[in-house]
C-alpha cells in the first residue's frame, strides 16, 4: 500500500482523487493549502498528486520544497491550464531528481489516476544513476589490457524496414562495476591525452568488424561518434581516409556523428576538418539535434549529410505535443537542407509508427534492436532477415 498526498486547492477534486486511490488499495490524504501540506507531508509520503496553480502556494514551490528536503516522494503534475507550463514543470522536477509519474491535464478520470500510480517505481528520475568515479590512470590501464569493446545498435529504414546501418558504441568492462557506458568515462578521456588512442581504438575495431558485417549486408554503413577534440586535429581527415581504404572500406560507408555543440568553440577549424572529411567521401551526422545551441546558420555552413534527432524528443513525442512539434520541425528542416533524418530513442511500436508518419527516414532504439556485441548482432541479423536484406 502506497502513501498518497493530493495537493489541490479544489477540495472536491482532491477528494475525488483520494477516493480513487483508496479504491485502488492505497492510503490517501488531501491538502488544499500550504498549512495543510506542511501538516500532512511526511518522509513516508510515496506519491504527491500536485496541482500547479494554487493560491498562496503554487506547485513550483512544492517541487522546490521536495528538492531542498531531499524527498523520496514521486509526483503527478496536474493542471487545467497551459500544457506548455506543465511540461516545463516536469522538466524542473526531473532536473531536481524528482520522479515524475505522469503529467495530467484536467479533467482527469479514474483510469488516468490508476495509470499514474502504476508507474511508481518504474521510472528513474534524472540524476538518480549510481555515481561511479574513475581516474585517467585506471582508464589508461583498461585501454592497455583491452577492457574496452564495441557494441552495435541497428538502424533501419522506416519505409520498408531494411537494415541501413549500425552505430558503434564504446563500452568498458570494469572489474568492479561491470559494463560501463561512455557517460561514465568519456568526459575524462575527452580532456586527456587518451582521446587520440581511444578514437583510434574505435576506428580499428570498426574496420576489423566491417568485412564480416558486409558479408551479410554490403550496403550497410557504420556510425562512429566523433569526439569534439578530434575535429580540431588538422591531420585527422587524411589519417582516417588512409586507414579505412587500407582495410578495403569505402569512406561513404562511415558516418561520423558529431554533436551540434562540438563545433562551436572554433568554427573555422571545425569547418576546415569537417569539409575535408566530406570531400573524402565520409558522411557527417549532426548528433543529438535539438538539445544544443547551434543556430540555423551553422546547419547551412557545416556540410552535414544526416540529422539525428535526440532521443529525449523521440521518446516523449507520443504523449507530449511540444516534443512532437520539435520532431516534426526537425524532420522538415533536415529534408529541406537535403539531409537524411534519423530518430533515435524508439522504444515502442507506437513511437515507431509516429516517426514513420512524421516522415523520418530512419529509426534507432530498443524497440528495433538493443546495442549488442558483434556475436549477438549476427544472431539478430539471422532472426531479422527482412532487416538484414539489402532491399
- For 162-194, write each residue's pLDDT tens digit: 999 999 999 999 988 888 988 888 888 888 888
Is 129 a domain residue? Answer: no
Query: Both 7 and 140 in a single domain?
Result: no
* CATH of residue 204: 3.20.20.450
Question: Which domain-ending residue is among 84, 118, 152?
Answer: 118
**How many other C-beta atoms can be found within 10 angstroms of the C-beta atom of residue 3?**
17
Q: How far is it, in rounded angstroms, from Cα 280 to Cα 7?
A: 61
Query: Both 199 and 296 in a single domain?
Result: yes
Is 71 a domain residue? Answer: yes
β-pairing verdict for 254-259 and 283-289: parallel
Query: Both 142 and 110 in a single domain?
Result: no
Is 128 a domain residue? Answer: no
Domain ranges, residue 206: 136-388
Is 292 a domain residue? Answer: yes
Count Cα atoms within 13 angstroms, Cβ side, for 322: 11
Helices (H), the chain: 11-23, 34-40, 59-68, 83-95, 110-118, 136-144, 182-189, 195-216, 236-246, 267-279, 296-301, 311-316, 321-336, 349-358, 374-383, 385-388
Count Cα atoms within 13 angstroms, Cβ side, for 211: 9
Query: Both 301 and 345 in a single domain?
Result: yes
Q: How far is it, in rounded angstroms, from Cα 285 to Cα 254?
A: 10
Is 147 a domain residue? Answer: yes
Query: Both 232 and 369 in a single domain?
Result: yes
Query: Both 80 and 183 in a single domain?
Result: no
Helix (H), strand (E) at residue 295: none
Q: How far is it, in rounded angstroms, from Cα 291 to Cα 106?
A: 29
pTM: 0.73
Is 58 a domain residue? Answer: yes
pLDDT of 259: 77
Q: How far is it, in rounded angstroms, from Cα 48 to Cα 7?
A: 7
pLDDT of 391: 39
Question: Which domain-ending residue is among 69, 92, 118?
Answer: 118
Question: Which domain-ending residue is among 92, 118, 144?
Answer: 118
pLDDT of 378: 85
Query: Both 86 and 227 in a single domain?
Result: no
Query: Both 163 and 111 in a single domain?
Result: no
pLDDT of 89: 86
Query: Both 169 and 279 in a single domain?
Result: yes
Query: Both 147 and 113 in a single domain?
Result: no
pLDDT of 126: 44
* CATH of residue 103: 3.40.50.2300
Is 125 a domain residue? Answer: no
Total domains, the chain: 2
pLDDT of 282: 96
Query: Both 266 and 168 in a single domain?
Result: yes
Is 222 a domain residue? Answer: yes
Query: Both 352 and 269 in a single domain?
Result: yes
Per-residue pLDDT of the chain in tens (391 residues, 90 and over written 9): 899 999 998 889 999 999 999 999 999 999 988 889 989 999 899 999 998 888 777 888 899 999 999 898 999 998 876 677 788 888 889 888 899 998 888 888 999 999 999 988 665 444 444 457 678 999 999 999 999 999 999 999 999 889 999 999 999 999 888 889 888 888 888 888 888 889 999 999 999 999 888 887 778 899 999 887 777 788 999 999 999 999 989 999 999 998 766 666 677 888 889 999 999 999 999 887 866 555 577 778 889 999 999 998 999 899 888 889 999 999 999 999 999 999 999 999 999 999 999 999 999 999 999 999 998 998 888 787 555 544 3
Amino acid at each position: 500500500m502506497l502513501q498518497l498526498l493530493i495537493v489541490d486547492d479544489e477540495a472536491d477534486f482532491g477528494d475525488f482523487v483520494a477516493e480513487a486511490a483508496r479504491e485502488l488499495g492505497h492510503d490517501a490524504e488531501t491538502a488544499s493549502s500550504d498549512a495543510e501540506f506542511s501538516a500532512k507531508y511526511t518522509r513516508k509520503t510515496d506519491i504527491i498528486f500536485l496541482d500547479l496553480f494554487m493560491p498562496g502556494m503554487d506547485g513550483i514551490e512544492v517541487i522546490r520544497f521536495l528538492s531542498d528536503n531531499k524527498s523520496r516522494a514521486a509526483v503527478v503534475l496536474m493542471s487545467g491550464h497551459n500544457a506548455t507550463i506543465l511540461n516545463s514543470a516536469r522538466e524542473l522536477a526531473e532536473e531536481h531528481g524528482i520522479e515524475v509519474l505522469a503529467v495530467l491535464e484536467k479533467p482527469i478520470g479514474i483510469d488516468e489516476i490508476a495509470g499514474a500510480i502504476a508507474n511508481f517505481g518504474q521510472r528513474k528520475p534524472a540524476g538518480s544513476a549510481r555515481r561511479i568515479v574513475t581516474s585517467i590512470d585506471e582508464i589508461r590501464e583498461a585501454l592497455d589490457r583491452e577492457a574496452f569493446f564495441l557494441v552495435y545498435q541497428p538502424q533501419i529504414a522506416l519505409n520498408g524496414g531494411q537494415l541501413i546501418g549500425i552505430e558503434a558504441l564504446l563500452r568498458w568492462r570494469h572489474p568492479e562495476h561491470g559494463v560501463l557506458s561512455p557517460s561514465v568515462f568519456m568526459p575524462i578521456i575527452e580532456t586527456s591525452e587518451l582521446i587520440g588512442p581511444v578514437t583510434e581504438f574505435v576506428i580499428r575495431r570498426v574496420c576489423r568488424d566491417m568485412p564480416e558485417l558486409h558479408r551479410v549486408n554490403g550496403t550497410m554503413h557504420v556510425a562512429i561518434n566523433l569526439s569534439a577534440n578530434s575535429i580540431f586535429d588538422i591531420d585527422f581527415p587524411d589519417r582516417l581516409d588512409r586507414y579505412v581504404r587500407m582495410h578495403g572500406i569505402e569512406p561513404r560507408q562511415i558516418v561520423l556523428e558529431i554533436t551540434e555543440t562540438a563545433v562551436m568553440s572554433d568554427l573555422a577549424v571545425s569547418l576546415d576538418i569537417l569539409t575535408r572529411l566530406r570531400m573524402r567521401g565520409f558522411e557527417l551526422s549532426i548528433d543529438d539535434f535539438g538539445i544544443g545551441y547551434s543556430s540555423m546558420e551553422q546547419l547551412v555552413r557545416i556540410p552535414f549529410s544526416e540529422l539525428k534527432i535526440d532521443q529525449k524528443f523521440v521518446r516523449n513525442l507520443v504523449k507530449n505535443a511540444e516534443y512532437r512539434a520539435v520532431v516534426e520541425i526537425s524532420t522538415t528542416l533536415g529534408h529541406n537542407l537535403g539531409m537524411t533524418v534519423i530518430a533515435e530513442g524508439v522504444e515502442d511500436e507506437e513511437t515507431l509508427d509516429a516517426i514513420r508518419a512524421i516522415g523520418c527516414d530512419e529509426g534507432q532504439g530498443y524497440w528495433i534492436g538493443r546495442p549488442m556485441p558483434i556475436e549477438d548482432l549476427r544472431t539478430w541479423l539471422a532472426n531479422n532477415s527482412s532487416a538484414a536484406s539489402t532491399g
